[in-house]
Chain A
Amino acid sequence: MSEAREYKYIGRRTIRPDGFDKVTGRANYGADLSLPGMIWGKILRSPYAHAVIKSIDSSKAEAHPDVMAVVTYQDYPAVSSGGFEPGDGPTDLCDLARNILADDKALYHGHAIAAIAARTEAAAEEALSLIDIDYEVLPPVMDVADAMQPGSPVLHEDLFTKGLAEQPEKASNIATRMELKKGDIEAGFAAAEVIIERDFYTPTVHQGYIEPHATTVRYDEDGQSMIWCSTQGHFDVRASTAKLLSMDLGKLKVIASEIGGGFGGKTTVYLEPVALMLSKKSGRPVKMVMTRDEVFRASGPGSATRSTVKIGAKKDGTITAMQAKLCFEAGAFKGSPMGPGCMTVFTPYDVENIYIEGYDVVVNKPKVAAYRAPGAPQAEFAAEMVINELADELNIDPIELRLQNAAKEGTQTVYGPKLKAVGLVECLEAAKNSPHYKQALAENQGRGLAAGFWFNIGGQSSVIINMNPDGTGTIVEGNPDIGGSRASMQLMAAEELGIDVSKLNPIVADTEHVPYSATTGGSRTTFATGMAVIEAAQDVVRQMKERAAAVWNVTVEQVDWSDGVAINTAGEDRLTAAEICQGADRTGGQISGRGNINARGAGPSFAVHLCDVEVDMETGKTAVVRYTAIQDAGKAIHPGYVEGQYQGGAVQGIGWALNEEYIYNEDGVMENAGFLDYRIPLASDLPMIDTIIVEVPNAFHPFGVRGVGETGIVPPLAAVATAVSDAIGVRMTNLPCSPPRVLKAIQDTA
């Protein structure tokens, strides 16, 4: 088992294999491919947040001398409603089709209505104004609370709430109601001596990846096609696009470019099926690149939420009952991360009586996409804020209160499995013993602490390791590398093979060169694809041993493998991996190992964050002055990238807590669709984010790995908001804690 093993490569801070290309600017991103004869596609977007599309007349645009194709929803084969699983969770094909190009209704400002391909980018842009659309403007529904009201305008006449005791007869904006429970909630509150109940709000936020969506495609005469794009999952781009254009998977090759950030936002398709249809109609390669404005208005942000959390406890700190109502905005089509929100909200706590209800609600905003631990930051924000208030009320240290009720091995989760060994207690202890927690606060400063949980799933991954005749190897994987995973694959392969990392080159192959691999999402890559790497490496080792056995004329059982060398236990013979590869032509041909797996289990990871802020009491402006992120990695394959993930999660969470929000006017038009006024944190806004890696091995992985990419964004919302609350003496329940909101809170209590 993992604890016993001494690692030679794992745990080293090697240089990332993609580093040189990135720092020299040589790396090719989504917008970097151009093809001979290529033309440009542009999208006409709805100027209204909610409108019926009565007619589209594109004849003038089609007559433009530079225009080579116009595409609308009508150009696609009819699709029937029904789920399929590309990317990060189930998608309704009908909704997907109507999101990439609107059918008879525009459902958000920026919703794609029609697309044009023209000889130049400027001509395509210009020709958009030649398309005439007759709209009947409807009142927009912009807030989950309004959308749930019985009298609210309805987005979809065919949307009937699922999950109710009785099938409703009227369409509504509530797509799903979900319930999770454990124990007896009434009894739990009856046993409580202190009960706290609060309402919370979190705004619509964007992942803020720096690289906009971009693609170049080519549809050939024989139907054989190619898509180059920036994505977290090219196999799922293939699946979605093939479905929408009614193509065989084998006809479509998708190549993932280098990716400039995604954070969940690149787990679905926007441009690719549109560009491919433009290419099919025009007979030319087509390139499409979103502007930043389009990215904000028409890609998939993270859900805004309204929630209520109620927690009861005994005076000694024993939590007796936890209850939550979580209302998630899905945007224009059903499918918010309300489910994972419900599943994670109370998971850090081992409590007998739990009741959770969740609502998935459509509003006139872009359809949400995954955003780093989708649903968990919003849900756990509410829970952690109440836990912190409870700690104050009971006069118990917030770490002690959590330790007293912490989830641990054997805890029955509300969503299904019993937890195996997890590291929450260890994270809490590390927080308690950290120099940060012991440091005294200065005037106008406040401290906040919060815990967080995320599953970190497994799923399908495929890896091939091709050995070269000189003993070097290529690790061929199918997962776009969004967080340094190539370095981790290299380290794990080196460990298994006993071949130095410098001799192993990890690459992300296209959909034709490696079997299906699920999207890089859910923090699954180092966990699941890592296991596929280990399996492929073991396959290589097995073959090397066979070759050595053949050379020595012994049985395979008589051959040992140690540190990249085959050893004849029946004699003195040794053969290095390089020697075996050099002789492969004489022992049966070249060597290549495979690991095509569907990884079972998950890598539940808990984190605890500590945040100190200083608030300018006259302006309400908050500065984060000290921050520590503590998280269980199971086993840190590459500690540098693990720390980077903790820091990145913390920073995105700090932005969410302090300044980030979609600002809409009364017509449902976003007013801050750019990085000037959608304020993600800048380097100068932040202190060094300190990290502590806790390692409690994951029973589901040979090295003990847990996914680490997402958990880190879960605790900061409550850690920061609690710190602000502590500094100003008022509890902040609505995010972001922007200067005007904080100042108002200060003034209202003065």
Chain B
Amino acid sequence: MVSVVYEAPASVQDAVALLSGAEITATVLAGGTDLIIQMQGLVNESRLLVDLKKIPAMMEATLDAEGLQLGPCMSCAELTSREDIKSVYPGLIEAAYLIGSTQIQGRASVGGNLCNSSPAADTVPALIVNNAQCVIVGPSGERSIQVEDFATGVGQNCLEKGELLSLIRIPLPAANTSDAYLRFIPRTEMDIAVAGAAVSITLDDDGICTAARVSIGAVAPTVLVVAKAAEVLLGTKVDVQALQAVAEAASKASSPITDRRGTDEYRRHVVGVLAKRAAAIAAERVRGIQS
């Protein structure tokens, strides 16, 4: 028999206390769109579910001069309806908008997407190109880590027993910067990325790229940062040759597997196409800001 103990603490401190004091397996519950499906496979187990949605700070998002303070449990539906956030991080919002369907987005959170630590998680490449940071709270206090260092393998991350993700902190992008995220699925929705790519680009007044970040998903055990793909953009006008170089660098950096969702060969090719197209869209967005 599976037995579940459900707790919904009102503060992060109480949540940490519940998680670290638990004698049975304790799991954080955000929207549950990954967790509840994973729990269907359980037999003969007792579980403590610690629901963080009753903690106000976990459900809020503030955008100010510092950047975005994103409560990890805020639903994607709420996040994607925030025009203020969308105008600053359009790529992040389009990633959140791709998760599942309207119904799924009513529950699914960016924090859950990150903590589930799937290499195909759609919001993670977009968080990474925006230099997002995870704030982690546990029995021994608070620590911060870059999003690209958070996941350590498929379904694995650096959270220790008793720890939870309390905040996602995203710095305000530099002037004349924008981002984009694209994923490939065989259909139009309700699918898991075969490959994904996010790009953030800064252009100077002459349209020359002065900074860039490229991150790719679903093509390695964790979401990758592709420094080489960013490098080839620097000093260019993000023209056809530069984009081709981005595609090649992204493909080269990937180490995909073959499974029911695609062959390694196909994924390697497509991730390059996505990186190139995302770079072009991000650059176009900057040009839009500039004009």
Contact = CB atoms under 8 A, between A and B. Distances in A.
Contacts of A679: 186-187, 191
B54 interface: no
Contacts of B190: 676, 682
Given A672-B260, A677-B261, A685 B188 contact: yes
A739 B265 CA distance: 12
B188 A740 contact: no
A198 to B, nearest CB: 25
B108 interface: no
B287 interface: no
A684 interface: yes
B263 to A, nearest CB: 6
Given A619-B273, A677-B261, A738 B43 contact: no
Interface string A616-628: 0011010000000
Nearest to A736: B186
Contacts of A126: 43-44
Given A126-B43, A619-B273, A740-B266, A681 B187 contact: yes
A681 B266 CA distance: 21
Given A663-B260, A677-B261, A743 B266 contact: yes
B14 interface: no
B270 interface: yes
B186 A621 contact: yes
Interface string B253-266: 00000011111001
B192 interface: yes
B187 A682 contact: yes
Contacts of B44: 126
A681 to B, nearest CB: 7
A671 B260 contact: yes
Contacts, number: 46
Nearest to B267: A740
Nearest to B266: A740
B1 interface: yes
A398 B155 CA distance: 53
Contacts of A738: 186
B34 interface: no
Interface string B164-182: 0000000000000000000
B107 interface: no
B187 A659 contact: yes
Interface residues of A, number: 22
Contacts of A681: 187
Contacts of A33: none
Contact of B192 (A671, A676, A743): A676
Contacts of A743: 266, 269
A122 interface: yes
Interface in B244-291: 259-263, 266, 269-270, 273
Contacts of A618: 273
A676 B266 CA distance: 19
Given A677-B261, A743-B266, A743-B269, A684 B188 contact: yes
Contacts of A677: 260-261
A335 to B, nearest CB: 28
A161 B261 CA distance: 38
Nearest to B270: A619
Contacts of B263: 740
Interface in A308-351: none
Nearest to B274: A619
A665 to B, nearest CB: 9
A125 B42 CA distance: 12
Contacts of B1: 122
A365 B191 CA distance: 26
A740 B43 contact: no
B190 to A, nearest CB: 6
B184 interface: yes
Contacts of B261: 677
B188 A619 contact: no
A739 B186 contact: yes
Nearest to B269: A743
Most buried by A among B1, B44, B187, B266: B187
Given A122-B1, A682-B187, A684-B189, 8 more contacts: A676-B191, A679-B191, A685-B187, A739-B184, A739-B270, A740-B262, A740-B263, A743-B269
19 contacts: A125-B43, A618-B273, A619-B270, A621-B186, A658-B186, A659-B186, A659-B187, A676-B191, A676-B192, A677-B261, A679-B191, A682-B189, A682-B190, A684-B187, A684-B189, A739-B186, A740-B262, A740-B263, A743-B266
Q: Which 7 A-B pairs have the closest CB atoms?
A: A740-B266, A684-B188, A671-B260, A618-B273, A672-B260, A663-B260, A677-B260
Interface of A: 122, 125-126, 618-619, 621, 658-659, 663, 671-672, 676-677, 679, 681-682, 684-685, 738-740, 743
